[in-house]
Amino acid sequence: MATGEVTKGRSGSLLDSARASSWQTRIALVVTAFLLVLLLVQAVRDPAQFFSQLVIGVTNGAIIALVALGYTLVYGIIELINFAHGDNFMIGSFVGLTVLSGTFAGIGLFSPITGDAGTLLKVVGVLLALAVAMAVCGCLNVAIERVAYKPLRNAPRLAVLITAIGMSFILQNLGLIWKGPAQVPFPELVSSANILPTDAIIFRWKDLFVLGMTVPLLLGLSYFIRNTRQGKAMRAVAQDKEAASMVGINVNQTISITFLLGGILAGASGVMFGLFNGITVFNVGFFQGLYAFTAAVLGGIGNLTGAVVGGFLIGIIGAMTDQYIGVEWTSIMIFSVLVLVLVFRPRGLLGDRSAVQGGGS
Amino acid sequence: MTLLRKYALPVTLIGAALLFPLWNSFLEGAFDVNLMYPVIVVTVYIMLALGLNIVVGFAGLLDLGFVAFYALGAYVVGWLASGHFQQVSVAFGTTATSITGEEVPGIHLSFWIVLVLAGAFAALCGVIIGAPTLRLRGDYLAIVTLGFGEIIPRFFQNGDDLGGFNLTNGTIGIKAIDSPGFPFLPDALSAWQRFGTLELYPWFYTILVMVLATIYVNVRLQNSRLGRAWISVREDETAAAAMGINPVTTKLWAYALGATFGGFAGAFYGAFIKNIFPTSFSFNVSIFILLMVVLGGMGNIYGVILGAIVIQGTNFYLLPQIKTWVNSIGQAVGNQTLATVDIPKYSFFIFGIMLVLMMLFRPEGIIPNRQRAEELHDENPGSGDAMGGPVRA
């Protein structure tokens, strides 16, 4: 939660903070600077390619950020790594696909919406898919919390984590039963055509679509947490459950609402992932979930802004690795970021109190 | 009498295990089932589960990347006992021979040397991975181990062109790994000269001896100074540190020992199946082994062995059996979906449910370790951490 941040000792100048920094920080800064310089060299050599890749990174980052928010919201409130969250994202993309196909459980409700449909139908279809996926994933997340996590509220932390891993496998196999082991194609409802007049830098309608859907969701979430009564209750529970229940906040309901929010974001993200990449598969949630978790950790787990920043950073790191190192190294790169951040800076870039608790020392 | 009571069960079990080839041939005669191959695989998993038990059960560190050490062990055998490195030709005490009498390309060391090297290499990697990460507590450590568990097999998958050097042969994996054996034995013991694919009992006795050694180490560790240090760190790291125990060194020992047994098991398995692929070391395997430990009973050696047998038994026999039943029911009622459903494909659906149910209803496992059971049912928040502590400190 955004409320839990520590009041960090702000040293006066950049020089002071440089002097006070540990050797680990310095090495990390040097390595990061070195990588940035390498990237910059590439950017100068072929700016068009670099910026096109940057756009892809930002778009992927937006999708990751929405999932990362789900991890961070839940971690902020009950300090659980909700391992099943990535698979919830996968279920979201499957629900979206099913809505677009117009057929559910053998009952044809309307004819499938494909790439040939009219613009209005496409817009309605996409919005409907998003809405249904958000609702289903939200409810699913709440149900998982009720069944699997709530009875373990006072159990050892790792017992709950093992339960979450079990839930993750259950959801993944539900996806396997539902759509089979192969990749399933998404109808191409959002155009891959370039918006920009030049062919040099590629900024597709798809990218605009994802960013255009993500920004209102982020603003809405931010408004909810900052300005509503329920949001205030969430922040209170995140800070101190006992004290919150003493002042009359329904803790269980607040936790449920947190899971609902996380699920809604995961559902939206799942549908957008499908529309953006054109495919989805039953185990997509494992990797996307871990990327999103990395993003949450990188930004500082428990910190909402951090999750968004981390999401965009991970998206960009992934896209740049795809382009300049090789696609097969992307997951290694991102997992290395995960390990390095957890080892050397467990509270992340914009970390707060709860992260330090989880990270020890 | 007390001596009898103490040793009756273990001696009976070990005796039954030693005589297994005998009653396997009896079973083969009576029911026409040969259990040798599955039993060897189960025994490999018993060894892995016992290794993970040191980490999860004794020291209370949740390791979600145990498969990494298993993979490392298997790849060490691949590197040092096969024709993979064709540039060189080294042979020592090996069972590999060439028909032409020329030197065989690749490194061919005796399996027994490679076995020790695999354990040592896995332990070294365990220390390298563990040293910076073991400062972390609980769930963060779990995720870091998961990260390494993903990175290492992926590295093996991509390692066919590291600056032009083919280290791991990529997705094709390393093929034709040498068999273990004692080439100096007389010809009367030909099955032991070079372990073959037809006579499996030398393999069985090798892995049995390895598992017994693992059990011996587990038992001796349990009540050692180190074992008690693990319990104290698991229950309350801060208090243990105040008592003069170095938590990081203590945890590092657990991690390195667990890794060693993972490496041994991987080395044996690599030699046994002869071809290793990076895809056979996925995250699922880590969870599979974790489930054995959790199901049987964290920290209880009997429990862990039982867990490994139950889970592998389910995998090998129960699921295919259920498939046959469900398919025949489907055929009887004329339901096409039920008649063709492939139950073993969804094994992790069942294993996921098992994990959740165990954690909800019996987190201490089938045969619990008394102390662990009490820790896991401790409803008093504010004491301990890791596996023994509460969700919120």
| pLDDT per residue as tens digits for the range A58-81 | 999 999 999 999 999 998 888 888
- Chain B residues in contact with A155 by the CB 8 A cut-off are 359, 363, 376, 390-391
Tens of pLDDT, residues A298-327:
998 888 889 999 999 999 999 999 888 888
The per-residue DSSP string of B227-272 comes to HHHHHHHHH-HHHHHHTT--HHHHHHHHHHHHHHHHHHHHHHHHHH
In-domain check, residue B368 = yes
In-domain check, residue B9 = no
pLDDT at B226 > cutoff 90: yes
ipTM of model: 0.85
In-domain check, residue B7 = no
**What pLDDT sits at residue A108?**
65
Q: Could you tell me the pLDDT band of residue A2, with boundaries at 50, 70 and 90?
A: very low
**What pLDDT sits at residue A352?**
59
**What pLDDT sits at residue B29?**
77
A1-5, A53-57, B285-289, B334-338: the lowest-pLDDT one:
A1-5
Of residues A149 and B384, more confidence is placed in A149
Domains identified in chain B, total number: 1
Domain containing B187: what range? 18-388
- Chain A residues in contact with B142 by the CB 8 A cut-off are 81, 158, 161
In-domain check, residue B393 = no
Residue of A344, A357, A359 lying closest to B393 (CB–CB): A357
Q: Do A156 and B393 touch (CB under 8 A)?
A: no
pLDDT at A1 > cutoff 60: no
Tens of pLDDT, residues B29-65:
778 777 888 889 999 999 999 999 999 989 888 899 9
CA distance A286 to B352: 14
Query: How much of chain A, in percent, has pLDDT values that exceed 70?
Result: 89
Structure tokens at A330: 């992307």
Q: Could you tell me the pLDDT band of residue B131, with boundaries at 50, 70 and 90?
A: confident
Other Cβ atoms less than 10 A from the Cβ of A229: the count is 8
Q: Do A357 and B376 touch (CB under 8 A)?
A: no
Beta bridge partners of A184: A280
In-domain check, residue B202 = yes
Chain B CB within 8 Å of residue A34 CB = no
User: What's the N-to-C CA distance of chain B in angstroms?
Assistant: 47
A6-10, A288-292, B66-70: the lowest-pLDDT one:
A6-10
Which long-range CB contacts under 8 A does A22-27 form with residues at least 24 apart?
Answer: A24/A344
Using alpha carbons, list the distances in angstroms from residue B362 to A271, B153, B292, B367, B373. Answer: 37, 33, 14, 10, 9
Closest approach of chain B CAs to the CA of A83, in angstroms?
10
pLDDT at B388 > cutoff 50: no
| Nearest CA among B282, B322, B280, B257 for reference residue B127 | B257
Q: Do A155 and B359 touch (CB under 8 A)?
A: yes
**What pLDDT sits at residue A105?**
67
CA distance B245 to B259: 22
What amino acid is encoded at A219 in this protein?
L
What amino acid is encoded at A85 in this protein?
H
- Chain A residues in contact with B148 by the CB 8 A cut-off are 335, 339
- Chain A residues in contact with B390 by the CB 8 A cut-off are 154-157
Query: How much of chain B, in percent, has pLDDT values that exceed 70?
Result: 94
Q: Could you tell me the pLDDT band of residue A354, with boundaries at 50, 70 and 90?
A: very low
- Chain B residues in contact with A153 by the CB 8 A cut-off are 391
Q: Do B376 and A155 touch (CB under 8 A)?
A: yes
In-domain check, residue B8 = no
**What pLDDT sits at residue A106?**
65
Report the pLDDT averaged over residues A242-250.
90
Q: Do A332 and B136 touch (CB under 8 A)?
A: no
Q: Could you tell me the pLDDT band of residue B117, with boundaries at 50, 70 and 90?
A: very high
Q: How many CB pairs under 8 A join A and B?
A: 165
Q: Do A156 and B136 touch (CB under 8 A)?
A: no
A104-108, A258-262, B287-291, B337-341: the lowest-pLDDT one:
A104-108
Instruction: Please name the residue that has the structure tokens 């069942």.
Output: B350
pLDDT at B392 > cutoff 60: no
Closest approach of chain B CAs to the CA of A182, in angstroms?
13
Other Cβ atoms less than 10 A from the Cβ of A26: the count is 11
Contacts of B166 (CB under 8 A, 6+ apart): B159, B160
Backbone angles phi, psi at B368, to 5 degrees: -80, 155
Domains and CATH numbers, chain A: 50-359 (1.10.3470)
